[in-house]
Structure 1
Amino acid sequence: MTGEPHAGYRETWARSIESRGDFWLGAARGIDWDIPPSVALDERLPGASRWFPDGELNTSYNALDRHVLAGRGDQAALIYDSAMTGTKLSLSYSELLDRVARFAGVLRANGVDKGDRVIIYLPMIPEAIVAMLACARIGAIHSVVFGGFAASELAVRIDDARPGVIVTASGGLEPGRAVEYLPLVQRALKLSAGSVKTVIVQGRDAVPGSAADYADEVQATWLDWADEEATATPAGPVSLRSGDPLYILYTSGTTGSPKGIVRDNGGHAVALAWSMRNIYAVGPGDVYWAASDVGWVVGHSYIVYAPLLVGATTVIYEGKPIGTPDAGAFWRVVEDYKVKVLFTAPTAIRAIRRVDPGLRELAKHDVSSLDSLFLAGERLDPETFHWANDGLHCPVVDHWWQTETGWAICANPRGIEPLPTKPGSATVPVPGFDIEILDSKGRPVKRGKEGNIAIRLPLPPGTLMGVWGSEDRYTSAYLTAFPGYYATGDSGHFDEDGYLYVMGRTDDVINVAGHRLSTGSLEEVLTLHPAVAECAVLGVHDALKGQRAAGFVTLKAGEQIDHDTLAAELIALVREHVGPVAAFRDVTILERLPKTRSGKILRKTIRQIVDGEPYTVPPTIEDPTVLDDLQRAVHGAGESS
C-alpha cells in the first residue's frame, strides 16, 4: 500500500486539527447538556486546557436517564456474567437507573456532596458500576482502587484523595481462592490519616465477612449496602460544570506518592461518546464487551461510561480468558450475549493462543455476531495478530492509548472509514490527536525513523485535566520534555502511509555499546519462532557494553523443544533479522511471565531481579509467586537456560 490513508478518515482528522473548535462543538451535540457550551476550548484557563468551559451537564444523566426518557428503559444496559460463581444477571436501563439513584441517595445520606471523594474498592460485580455512576450523579469524585490491592497501597491512595467514604465488598474471587477485602480495608484505615468516616460493604455469599463483623471499629462506621439501599431516598442528577472532576485514577504500579490522573465531566463524555461511534462503530442496542477490570482506565472508559453514553449494552465479566473453565471462556460469552465488539488486552489473546493454539474451543461456539476484536494495553506482536485475525475471521484492530489520555490516540477508525490493517501498527492518529516523532532535542524526525512519540498541544477532550493535588507534577511529568507537546513516554515511528508503529517505552530502548535497539523490534523477532507463546526483551546490566539484551519467553501448550536448542534458535533468529549488532545471547524460558492484573509485563521488576537489585513486589502483580520462579530461573543460569 502506498500513498495516504483514505479520504474519509484524512478529511475528518484534518478538520479536527484545523477547525478544532467547530469539530468538537459538533461532537458535543451527541451529549445532553443542562447548559450547552458555546465555546469548545479556552486555553487561557490555568493548568490543562479546559474543554466546553461554559457548559453544564451530568454524566450519570447522560448514561442512564436520557435513554429511559427516550423510551428505551427496557433495553439491557448491563449484563453481568460471573464465571467464578455461575451467576448471570441482566439489568435494563430503568433497573440500573433505579439502583444508581438509590445508591446516590445512600451516599448523600452519609454526607457525600459535590466535590467530595469516594473510594470504590470492589470486584467485578454490578455494584462497581452502580457506585461509579452514583458518584457521578451527585457530583462526587470517585477513585476506583483495584479490589485486592495491598492495605498499604490502599492507605496511600486514601491519604492522597482524602475520601470520606469507602465502598467495598466482602471480597473478590480468583480461580481456586477467595480474596477477603474487609481485613485489607480495616488495616488501610489504621495506616491512613483518618479521612474515612464510613465504609459501605456489599456482602457476597462466596466470600466471608460483613459490615456487622466490624461494628466495633473506631476508625469508621461500617454499613451494609443492601440495608442502606433498601431505605434510601433516590437522588436526582446535579448539574455540573464541564470542567468539574469526574474521577481520580491512580496509575498502576505507583508507590510512595501516587499519581492520580484527573478526568473532567464534559470533555470526557463528549470524547467517549464520539469514540464509540467513530472508532468502534457501536451505537444504541449493540452489545459491547471490554474484557478488563473497572480498576483500570479501560474499565472506566469502556465497561462503564462509553457504552452507556451511547445507549449500548455493556458486559461486565468476572473471570479469566483461560481456566474459568477453559480457553473457550471468551468465545462462550460472545456467543451467549451476541457481542458485537470485544475489547481486551493482547496478553489475554496470547494466553488463549498458548493453551489452545489450534482454536479448538473457538470451534465449539458461534461467534458470528463479532464485528471486530480491539486490542490494547501492550504491544500487539504480528504473530498474535495473524493468529487471531485468521482464526476469528473478523477484523483485529490494534489501537494505542494510555491511562492519561482516557481513549485511543491511534486506531483504525471503523466508524468513519475502516482502513487496511498493518500487523505491528496501531494504524493512524485518531482525530483530535496531532502526533509528531521527535528526537532527543525535540526536533521532528523523518518518516521511518524511530524517535519519541509526542502529541502537539492542546490535547483533545477526554484526556487528563491534571494530576490530583499537583499542577506542577502534571507539567513536570508530561509537558517539560518537549515544550508545546505532551510526552507520551513511548517510542515509535511513522511509515510512508502515516501508520504509527509503537515500539515500547522510551526507557525500554537498549543501549548496547552505543547502538540503540528497540525491545519491541527484538520481541517481534522472538515471536516468529513457532514454539514461543509470548516474550519480553529488556536491557540488563553489562560491565563491558553498558547493557545487553536479554529475552524471556514462554512456550505454547504441548511444546517439547529442548531449552538449549530453543535458545540457540532464538539467538540465530535475532542475528538473522536484526544483525550481530544486537549481541543477543541471553534467553530464559519461563512457565509464566510476571504481569500486572491488566496484563502488562513487569519489565522493571524482571530487570531488577536479573541485575540483582533490591525490588518491591508491585501491588498490581497478578501472582507474586511468579517472581520466585523467575529468581530460580535466572540464578546461576548463565547465558541461557
Structure 2
Amino acid sequence: MNVWRPTADDIATSNVTALIERLGLEDYDELLAFSNAQPEHYWRTVVDFCGIVWDVDYHTYADLSAGKEFPKWFRGGQLNWVKTALKWADDPATVQQDAVVAEREDGSIQRVTYGELAQRVASFAAGLKAQGVKRGDRIGLLMENGVEATVTLLGIAWVGAVAVPLFSGFGVDAIVSRLSSCSARLLIATTGFSRRGKWVDTRKLVDEALTRLPDIDTVIWKRAAEPIHFDAKVLDWRAVADAQPDPAAERMSPEDPFMVIYTSGTTGKPKGAVHTHGGFPLKIAHDSAVHFNVKQGDVFCWPADMGWIAGSLVMSSALLRGATLVCYDGAPDFPDWSRMSRLIERHRITHFGSAPTLIRGLAANAGIAMQGDVSTVQLLITAGEGIDPEHFVWFQEAFGSGRRPVINYTGGTEVSGALLSSVVVRPIVPSGFNTASPSVEVDVVGPTGESLVDRIGELSVHAPFVGMTQSFWQDNERYLDSYWRTIPGIWVHGDLAMHREDGHWFMLGRSDDTIKLAGKRVGPAEIEEVLLELPEIAEAAAIGVDDAVKGQKLVVFVIQTAGSHVSPVELEQSLAKHVDGRLGRPFRPSAVHVVAQLPKTRSSKIMRRVIRSVYAGQPPGDLSSLDNPGALDDIRRAAGR
C-alpha cells in the first residue's frame, strides 16, 4: 500500500520534471536510465540546471586512468564551490533574502541575508589569510550550528583550506586523533553552548586536547560571555571576522579537498573521508534539487551537528539552491516536545528533516509535539538510520498534514549524498525508497556480486559516482579494503538492502549487524520494525550473539513507552507472541532486556556494534561518536557484568 501518491501538480511543478524536459526525455524512468547510460551528458545538464559557478569550465567529465577506485572528476575545470552558494548575493531578487536564520536554545534569533553572508564570508576569509592560512591547510572546526559556523566553514573553503569538522560532544581523545591524523595547524572552536538549559563548557576540553597537538599553532575562539586572554596564538573569532573583505575566492581544481570528515569504523581508528570542491557540493546541489525538490525562496530546516556529514549536507542543500537555511543548535525537546513544531511555525519552514529516533520521540509525545502550526511544510526528509513504517506514516500524517511526502534518504559520510532516496514524481511506500539516486549505479548483490531481487543482499555500486570520497586521508589501502576489495571491482557499502521487483528499495541495517537465525540471514531493522509495532515499546535494538548450539541467537534491547506499566516478564511474553505471529518462531528472541537508554551517536543512530561488543564482553571499539556513555552501563547490567 502506498503512503503517498503525487498529484498532477506535484509532478508538473517539480524540479525533476524540469530536468526531464531539459534533457528532452519522456519521464523519470527515462531520466534514471539515461543518467547511468550517459553520465557525462547527464552531469553537464545537471551542472547547468543547478547553476554551478565555474571559473574555468571543465572539458572531461571523468578520468578513470588511475582505475575506477580513484576517478578524477571534471578535468580541466576550476571553481570554488562557495561561489555557487553565494551567487544569490549578486542577484537583486535574492540579495535581501534571508540566507541563514539561527535560533538558539534560549530563543534568541540571528538572521543574515545573502548579501550580508557574502560580505561576512569574504571578511572571515581575509582574516584567515592574515593569520597565514594557505591553500591545503587543515583547520579543525568545533562549533555549534548557526551563523558563525556557516561563515566559518564557507570561509575556510573560500581561501582553499580544508575543514575538519568535529562533533560538539567529542571527548579529548576523539579530537586529538582526528586533528593529529590530518596534521591540522589551526583550530576554530566555541567556548561552550547551551543544552537543555545547562551550559556545556568545551574550552577546558579543547585546552587539554591542545597539549597533545603540537602542530596546532593558532586557536580561534568563538567565545560566549566569559573573558579569554588573547595573544598571538589565541584569537577572537569576531576580530578575525572583522577583517577587510577579500572578494577573490581561491580558484581550486575539482580534485582539491575542502573537507576531511571522520567516520567511525567497526574496528580501528576513525576513517578520514576526503571530499573535494568538484565532488560533495555538486552531489548535494543535485540531491537538493532532485530528491528534496528545493527551490529558491524555500525555507529549509534539518537540525544537525556541524561535526557530522549532515551538518555540511544540510547547509549546502539550502544555500546552493537559494533557499533560507534555518539552524537550531539546542535540544529538540527543550523546553518541551513542541519545540520543533513551533520552530516550523515561527520561521514558516517548507522543508523539514529529522532522524527516525527524533520522529519516534515526537510521536510518543504527540499531544505536546504538535502544538505548533506545521501547515507551511511542503516536504519532509528522514535519514540517518532505518525507520519503521508506523513512524514513517505518522511523520507524514502529523508534520506533513497527510498531504506532503516523506523523502527517505540514505548515503553516508563516504559518499556525500544519496545512494537511495525518493523523488516526488513517483509513489512512496512506508519506510522505502522509490529510486536509486540518478547516475549512481546502485544494486543489491550476493557474495559473488550477482544481482538480487526480492532478496536481502549487500548494497553496492557498480561504477564510480560523483560525491564518492576521493580516498581516506593518506590511507588508500584502508579505503580500498573498506569498499573495493570485498567483491573486486564493486563498491560494497556495508549495508544490507532489498530491491523489490516493483522497483522499491529497503534498507535493513549494516551488514556487519547481520543476524543469522535458523540458517536465515536477517537485518536488525526488520526485527526492530516488528518490535516497534507493540505500543509498549518506544525504541528497540536487535543484535546477534554467538551461540554454541544455534550459531547465533537473537537478543533484543527495548525502551518501554512512557507511562507503560507492563512488567518485564509480561513484556517479554507479549513480545515473543508478537514476533511468532509476525516473523515466525525461529525469530523469537532468546533474551529481552528492558533498558533506560540505548547507545547512540549525536545524530541519533543506535550503535548496535557497541551494544553487541559490550554485551559479549569484548572491547567496544571506537566510542568517539557515542553521545550517551551511561547507556553502556545498562548493557553491562543486562549481560550480568
The normalised TM-score by structure 1 is: 0.92
Aligned length: 614
Deviations, residues 352-378 of structure 1 (Å, cap 9, x unaligned): 123x1xx22354221111012110101
Comparing 245-254 with 397-406, greater Cα deviation is found at: 245-254
Asked whether the equivalents of residues 261 and 465 of structure 1 are also in contact (C-alpha less than 8 Å), the reply is yes
Matched, 1:434 2:446: no
Gap change, CA 1:35 and 1:617, over 3 Å in 2: closer
Counterpart residue number, 1:283: 295
Gap change, CA 1:397 and 1:305, over 3 Å in 2: closer
* Candidates 301, 312, 319, aligned match of 2:330: 319
Alpha-carbon distance in 2 for matches of 1:512, 1:136 = 49
Paired letter, 1:397: I
Alpha-carbon distance in 2 for matches of 1:68, 1:102 = 17
Unaligned segments of structure 2, at least 5 residues = 12-25
Alpha-carbon distance in 2 for matches of 1:143, 1:236 = 23
Offset at residue 483 of structure 1 (A)? 2.1
Asked whether the equivalents of residues 437 and 450 of structure 1 are also in contact (C-alpha less than 8 Å), the reply is yes
Deviations, residues 166-193 of structure 1 (Å, cap 9, x unaligned): 101111322243222222222212223x
Paired letter, 1:296: W
Alpha-carbon distance in 1 for matches of 2:196, 2:548 = 43
Counterpart residue number, 2:360: 350
Counterpart residue number, 2:206: 185
Asked whether the equivalents of residues 52 and 267 of structure 1 are also in contact (C-alpha less than 8 Å), the reply is no
Offset at residue 235 of structure 1 (A)? 4.9
Offset at residue 321 of structure 1 (A)? 2.2
Paired letter, 1:210: I
Gap change, CA 1:255 and 1:154, over 3 Å in 2: farther
Gap change, CA 1:630 and 1:18, over 3 Å in 2: same
* Candidates 98, 110, 117, aligned match of 1:89: 110
Comparing 9-18 with 614-623, greater Cα deviation is found at: 614-623
Paired letter, 2:215: S
**1:90-105 alignment to 2 at 5 Å?**
90-105=111-126
SS state at 2:27 partner: helix
Alpha-carbon distance in 2 for matches of 1:617, 1:119 = 20
Unaligned segments of structure 1, at least 5 residues = 637-641
Alpha-carbon distance in 2 for matches of 1:278, 1:380 = 22
Counterpart residue number, 1:33: 54
* Candidates 554, 569, 572, aligned match of 1:564: 569
* Candidates 576, 591, 594, aligned match of 2:596: 591
**1:404-419 alignment to 2 at 5 Å?**
404-414=414-424, 417=425, 419=426
Alpha-carbon distance in 2 for matches of 1:331, 1:66 = 29
Gap change, CA 1:310 and 1:390, over 3 Å in 2: closer
Alpha-carbon distance in 1 for matches of 2:285, 2:628 = 35
Paired letter, 1:261: A
Question: What value does the CA root-mean-square deviation take over the aligned residues?
Answer: 2.1
Alpha-carbon distance in 1 for matches of 2:80, 2:219 = 26
Alpha-carbon distance in 2 for matches of 1:166, 1:253 = 24
Alpha-carbon distance in 2 for matches of 1:161, 1:617 = 18
**1:221-260 alignment to 2 at 5 Å?**
221-252=233-264, 257-260=269-272
Gap change, CA 1:229 and 1:588, over 3 Å in 2: same
Counterpart residue number, 1:198: 218
Paired letter, 2:116: E
Q: Percent identity?
A: 31
Paired letter, 1:92: T
SS state at 1:33 partner: coil
SS state at 2:75 partner: coil
Gap change, CA 1:147 and 1:436, over 3 Å in 2: same
Gap change, CA 1:476 and 1:609, over 3 Å in 2: closer
Matched, 1:458 2:464: yes
Comparing 514-523 with 281-290, greater Cα deviation is found at: 514-523
Matched, 1:448 2:470: no
Alpha-carbon distance in 1 for matches of 2:99, 2:439 = 29
Comparing 541-550 with 88-97, greater Cα deviation is found at: 541-550
SS state at 1:188 partner: helix
The normalised TM-score by structure 2 is: 0.92
Matched, 1:72 2:94: yes
Counterpart residue number, 2:14: none
Alpha-carbon distance in 2 for matches of 1:616, 1:176 = 32
Deviations, residues 494-526 of structure 1 (Å, cap 9, x unaligned): 112111111111111112353323212211211
* Candidates 383, 390, 397, aligned match of 1:383: 390
Deviations, residues 114-162 of structure 1 (Å, cap 9, x unaligned): 1111111112232111110001111111111112311111111111111
Offset at residue 308 of structure 1 (A)? 0.7
Counterpart residue number, 1:501: 506
Alpha-carbon distance in 2 for matches of 1:519, 1:591 = 20
* Candidates 14, 39, 56, aligned match of 2:78: 56
Deviations, residues 376-398 of structure 1 (Å, cap 9, x unaligned): 10101112112222223222222
Matched, 1:299 2:306: no
Paired letter, 1:455: V
Matched, 1:481 2:486: yes
Offset at residue 211 of structure 1 (A)? 4.6
Alpha-carbon distance in 2 for matches of 1:271, 1:622 = 29
Alpha-carbon distance in 2 for matches of 1:626, 1:362 = 25
Paired letter, 2:384: G
Offset at residue 616 of structure 1 (A)? 5.8
Offset at residue 236 of structure 1 (A)? 2.3
Deviations, residues 269-302 of structure 1 (Å, cap 9, x unaligned): 3222222221111111110112211111111111
Alpha-carbon distance in 1 for matches of 2:265, 2:146 = 23
* Candidates 162, 168, 171, aligned match of 1:147: 168
Alpha-carbon distance in 2 for matches of 1:138, 1:525 = 50
Matched, 1:175 2:175: no
Asked whether the equivalents of residues 512 and 547 of structure 1 are also in contact (C-alpha less than 8 Å), the reply is yes
Paired letter, 2:482: A
Paired letter, 1:200: I
Matched, 1:20 2:31: no
Counterpart residue number, 2:554: 549
Offset at residue 431 of structure 1 (A)? 0.6
Asked whether the equivalents of residues 541 and 606 of structure 2 are also in contact (C-alpha less than 8 Å), the reply is yes
Alpha-carbon distance in 2 for matches of 1:60, 1:51 = 18
Offset at residue 56 of structure 1 (A)? 0.9
Alpha-carbon distance in 2 for matches of 1:345, 1:32 = 32
Paired letter, 2:73: W
SS state at 2:553 partner: strand
